[in-house]
Structure 1
């Protein structure tokens, strides 16, 4: 029997004190598509991301990827399994250059080892190629702290791609960036999806969600309440009630 393709979560639960941030959530994301995960503030989206990617350990439930149980795996093992992610607030090494940030992303071990003179030319060439792809190749030797927030977002995306993941989770990629950069990030997502990568995107910008995604999952109070194509989600009364607080 062939293992089911894609990312599947069943009965996922995570509590902090008496609050269930994720509450018995079960959902399957469409493999090979651009999935969006939306919901009002506090609905559990980022906690769900953290459980799936090994940043926090769930209290219950299972996370499977291509039929393989990843539940409770540490973040680096999840990444090696083919799942990459970005963060709501950019995580870059501020005192490393853009190209050095990418070298650290791909080379296991210490930062010093990743930046040693013995680093492979292939790694450097790949890093420069990805900086070109996201449009910041001219900033390769600039320290990350001197980049704009939007440029740091592009750098973080290039760092995710450095590990060549099959599935990419993006946490608010349009947050805090200008409209031109939002369009650039959207174009990159479409290009990468056309090349075969699956996306799961948490995003509050509904224009981005509705124009970019193929499949939308809506969270409220820690669990999915609706899923389907963007046009159906836009008109779903449960979704409207969740956002309006009714």
Structure 2
């Protein structure tokens, strides 16, 4: 297992978002975390990545306890993530956005150095791989929503995480860009990166996932390969409304 939580709990006032969620995600695979709106998926991501502190339970990554650690420490441990709403710097160019994922000396102090030039080339490489290299000099605010999703992912990948958490990568993305995201995830997974994806687009989930965990009311109710999840009665009842 690469990422594991035990008894993870979080409440907001009188509303329980996570209810003792014990979950394991598989190293080297494309994992998906699905469930109806309000089932705790994004709260789970936020607890895992240090955006909020859980009320109880533990977060373990490759055997290391990350419970309650600051986001930058979790990122340094090898976990990167995107968000439902893109987090880019709107008045910075696409290239500058990707470079901002590099430690501070890389963006400001090192732009004229050999290392800085290497980082610029690497950032351009990620923009090229995601098909938006032609937008390198455009401000992020001028990009379409789908292009901003790709830009945010390029920034995450610039930090070279071993495990990538994607929060609704298909949200608001047109079919052409969605296909590109799906292909890229499988390519990067084949190169050794682990993925955990929160997503409502079931076609995407079923086509790229190796392992799926289903949440309902803040806890897992089913897990397994796509073939098993498609026919699980608990999933059909809780998530698909059948």
TM bucket by the smaller chain? Answer: over 0.9
Query: Could you say what secondary structure the match of 2:101 adopts?
Result: helix
Partner of residue 114, structure 1: 107
Query: Could you say what secondary structure the match of 2:16 adopts?
Result: strand
Q: Does residue 239 of structure 1 match 2:235?
A: yes
Question: What TM-score, normalized to structure 1?
Answer: 0.94
Are 1:103 and 1:115, in contact at CA under 8 Å, matched by a contact in 2? no
Deviations 1:30-57 (A, max 9, x none): 1100000000000000000000011101
| Distance in 2 (alpha carbons) for counterparts of 1:83 and 1:33 | 14
Are 1:12 and 1:24, in contact at CA under 8 Å, matched by a contact in 2? yes
| Distance in 2 (alpha carbons) for counterparts of 1:35 and 1:67 | 18
Listed as ranges, the matches of 1:1-246 within 5 Å are: 5-108=1-104, 114-116=107-109, 117-118=111-112, 120-245=116-241
Unaligned runs of 5+ in 1: none
Structure 1 segments, 4+ long, off by >3 Å, are 115-119
Are 1:100 and 1:115, in contact at CA under 8 Å, matched by a contact in 2? no
Shift of 1:114: 2.4
| Distance in 2 (alpha carbons) for counterparts of 1:25 and 1:206 | 22
Q: For residues 17 and 186 of structure 1, do their structure 2 counterparts lie closer, same or farther at Cα, with a shift above 3 Å needed? A: same
Query: Could you say what secondary structure the match of 1:11 adopts?
Result: strand
Unaligned runs of 5+ in 2: none
| Distance in 1 (alpha carbons) for counterparts of 2:15 and 2:81 | 25
Are 1:101 and 1:159, in contact at CA under 8 Å, matched by a contact in 2? yes
Shift of 1:243: 2.1
Are 1:34 and 1:215, in contact at CA under 8 Å, matched by a contact in 2? yes
- Higher mean alpha-carbon deviation, 120-129 vs 190-199, is at 120-129
Q: For residues 244 and 192 of structure 1, do their structure 2 counterparts lie closer, same or farther at Cα, with a shift above 3 Å needed? A: closer
| Distance in 2 (alpha carbons) for counterparts of 1:129 and 1:211 | 26
Are 1:39 and 1:220, in contact at CA under 8 Å, matched by a contact in 2? yes
Matched positions, count? 239
